[in-house]
Chain A
Amino acid sequence: MQARLNALFDALLPVIATLAALAVGALVLLLLRVNPLEAYGALWEGAFGNRNALAETLVKATPLLLVGLGICIAFRGGVINIGGEGQMVVGALLGTLIGLNFNDWPGWIVVFLALVGGFIGGAIWGGIPGLLKAYFNVNEILSTIMMNAIAVQGMNFLLRGPMIDPAQMELASKIPQTARLIDAYRLPRLVPTRLHLGAGIAVLLAILVYILLWHTTLGYRIRAVGQNPHASRYAGIKVQRYVVLALFLSGAFAGLAGATQVFGVNYRMITDGSATGFTGSAGFNGIVAALFGQLHPVGTIPASILFGALLVGANKMQRVVQVPSALITALNGLVVIFVVSSSIWRQRRQRQRLRDIGTESELTSSVEINASSRKWEGDS
């Protein structure tokens, strides 16, 4: 009974963290002289109020889920990937190049190739920090953040020059955007809303990632390296290789998210000079979703929907009570802080349980988020 209560409490921790974040948000709203109930009411209405709102929520949730799946792999593998933004951009660029340069091919083949292109683009952008970490011991948090900035500038350069829509070249406006994809090269829509096949693909991949991590040798090794690199090395696992692989795969899912945005939602790439203009910060919010889903691929599905809802609802909130949607960015930050802070209670109980069964030994199975904080040292 006690064990079951504990498990329930663990599962509820993220929910409590979110409620706490919303409470802080309410305080900020009060200070800004906005009625929090009215604001949150508009948020709910905007996210779930009707079929279109719900579809929009799922559309927003899709890149969060895809990025979040990559985050699950990376964090389980003991590496922290903050480079989702850049990986999305590179994946989208590669996918778009494929979509614009293959003519007269059957639509589904081109879409498939473009998604694979996105996967590869993101994988390369995640793999580079992976190699730098494994072989040069470069902190991957910093390198992935720098890779974000490099990707954005690369996108700006390409969309203002080499990849610009030929039609824009004729005009004086020169909006930095690519040509539009032809209708045949679009991800099919599921119901008469903006909801597209990408959402289905993402859910399917969530299950595949779960199988990968918990039911294959590869996944077992990724997790083993994440939990205890030293023991893994003694067990004969080539630790460096799995560090690279974890970041490579993590980037790949973000890249896929980028390509999916182009082929499912925008049908072209356009830049406002920032990464957010294209990604809508999904590269960061995917981290929030994955943490909220306790770094479990399947748990990340409802988490993505929740954060997708917050993003969609924020637009309505902005219109109705004039609260900038930046509030949601701040709240997401708080959710991250609260979720990582709350893991101390889980660890305490875990320690208690171990004590109860009489093993005072060190915690080898401490919660995965903490495993990633363990300093990883390269082979000497």
Chain B
Amino acid sequence: MIAELFSATVLVGILASGIRLATPYLYAGIGETFGQRSGVLNLGVEGQMLIGAFFSFYISLVTGDLWLGLLAAVIAGAIMGLAMAFVTVNLQAEQGISGIGFYLFGLGLSDLLFQKLMGTVETVSGFSKVYIPFLSDIPVIGQIFFRQNILVYGAFALVPIGWFVLNKTTLGLKIRAVGENPEAADSLGVSVARVRYFTIILGGILSGVAGASLSIALLNVFQQNMTSGLGFIAVALVYFGGWRPWGILGGALLFSMVNSLQLWVQVLGIPIPSDIAVMMPYILTILALVVAVSRVRAPSALTKPFGRGE
């Protein structure tokens, strides 16, 4: 049965679903990168994802329009981000713990709304696959990369965009300055608060889209706690990826491939207890953190609230 894993069709299947499964990690991870590069640790990603997953699913279900659903996830994520920004920037609350508060809030609220407004698990037909002309016809590579849905393409496009914005634009420079030395940035006339508001709200939006990618593009259902730790793994990926979009791409692919392999192992009926197989990504996360942390330095002002010489 192990041999089946290495047949061409299965390998292509594993790689193609691995690419697909990287989607939520990429949205949430890149969003979190912007926040952390500006000095804010957002641990509420998981909650924002759940809220985004619920609203995108519910609005899609009611209106039948997936794009409206996606918009709902964007708005819901932005509101969650706005609240997080107010709490961490204006009230200078401890970021880690308030993030856990936002997680619990998102977990509870999405569950509450799900039970109250839907009651049972329903399905939508999510974003369908878009075959890229010509490219999708290339054998193997076309099947793996170019027969995905629009949100998958969006996630991968976000990596170079994120890299470009962070490293090649004035905005990116401001973000990095605020994350490394807010006092200096402030004295040069950069509004630390405004930059952080921007990055945290952007992070909220991307987390919302990450949730939507699960509920209306990859799984096409909504269930209580359907993210099951994915948002936290995305935060860990930011450390693992060394706060760089390309690094996060690498980490996201590593995780999604392991996940995909784990799913296929179950599908093929290979006798590894499924509970043990499900454990793998989490163990991998811890190992990844051990490897990553010693390698790169975090933004200097990460988790430090900034008060203007009070």
Contact = CB atoms under 8 A, between A and B. Distances in A.
A153 B92 CA distance: 37
Nearest to A135: B290
B43 interface: yes
Contacts of A196: none
Contacts of A150: 279, 282-283
Interface string A135-174: 0111101110111111001101100110000000000000
B232 interface: yes
Contact of A136 (B278, B282, B290): B290
Q: Which residue, of A28, A161, A342, has the highest number of chain B Cβ atoms within 10 A?
A: A28
Interface stretch (A41-49, A209-217, A259-267, A320-328): A320-328
Contacts of A28: 109, 112
Contacts of B96: 80, 141, 372-373
A357 interface: no
Contacts of A328: 108
A341 B286 contact: no
A143 B289 contact: yes
Interface string A305-339: 00000000000000000011011111111111100
A359 to B, nearest CB: 15
B276 A336 contact: no
A132 interface: yes
B133 interface: no
Interface residues of B, number: 54
A375 interface: yes
Given A136-B294, A142-B232, A157-B275, A334 B282 contact: no
Contacts of B97: 80, 287, 291, 336, 340, 369, 372
Contacts of A284: 100, 104
Given A145-B229, A337-B93, A324 B111 contact: yes
Contact of A157 (B92, B273, B293): B273
A330 B303 CA distance: 24
Given A136-B294, A146-B232, A341-B93, A330 B112 contact: yes
B141 to A, nearest CB: 33
A181 B226 CA distance: 33
A111 to B, nearest CB: 29
Nearest to A276: B225
B225 A333 contact: no
Contacts of B243: none
Nearest to B233: A146
A340 B293 contact: no
A291 B102 CA distance: 15
Given A326-B111, A327-B108, A333 B286 contact: no
A343 interface: yes
Nearest to B105: A333
B134 to A, nearest CB: 42
Contact of B98 (A136, A154, A327, A337): A337
A160 to B, nearest CB: 7
What's the dominant secondary structure at chain B's contact region?
helix
Interface string A335-375: 11100111110001001000000000000000001101101
A373 B289 CA distance: 19
Given A80-B96, A340-B101, A330 B109 contact: yes
Contact of A324 (B104, B105, B115, B232): B115
Q: Which residue, of B91, B108, B115, B116, has the highest number of chain A Cβ atoms within 10 A?
A: B108
Given A153-B279, A369-B94, A139 B104 contact: no
B115 A138 contact: no
A153 B289 contact: no
A202 B111 CA distance: 31
A149 B279 contact: yes
B15 interface: no
Interface in B238-288: 239, 273, 275-276, 278-279, 282-283, 285-286
Contacts of B204: none
A34 B93 CA distance: 32
Contact of B276 (A132, A153, A326): A153
B108 A331 contact: yes
B94 A326 contact: no
A333 B236 contact: no
A332 B102 contact: no
Interface in B74-113: 83, 87, 91-98, 100-109, 111-112
B93 A340 contact: yes
A103 interface: no
B282 A146 contact: yes
B108 A373 contact: no
A373 B310 contact: no
A336 B104 contact: yes
B304 A324 contact: no
Contacts of B233: 146
Nearest to B240: A142
Nearest to A340: B93
A333 B294 contact: no
A1 interface: no
A6 interface: no
A326 to B, nearest CB: 4
A139 B293 contact: yes
A148 B232 CA distance: 12
The list of the 6 closest CB pairs from A to B, nearest first, reads A330-B108, A329-B108, A333-B104, A333-B105, A336-B101, A326-B111
Given A287-B100, A344-B93, A372-B96, 7 more contacts: A28-B109, A136-B289, A139-B293, A154-B279, A333-B106, A337-B98, A337-B101
15 contacts: A139-B239, A141-B43, A142-B239, A145-B229, A146-B232, A147-B286, A154-B275, A274-B225, A327-B108, A336-B101, A337-B87, A340-B87, A344-B93, A372-B94, A375-B303
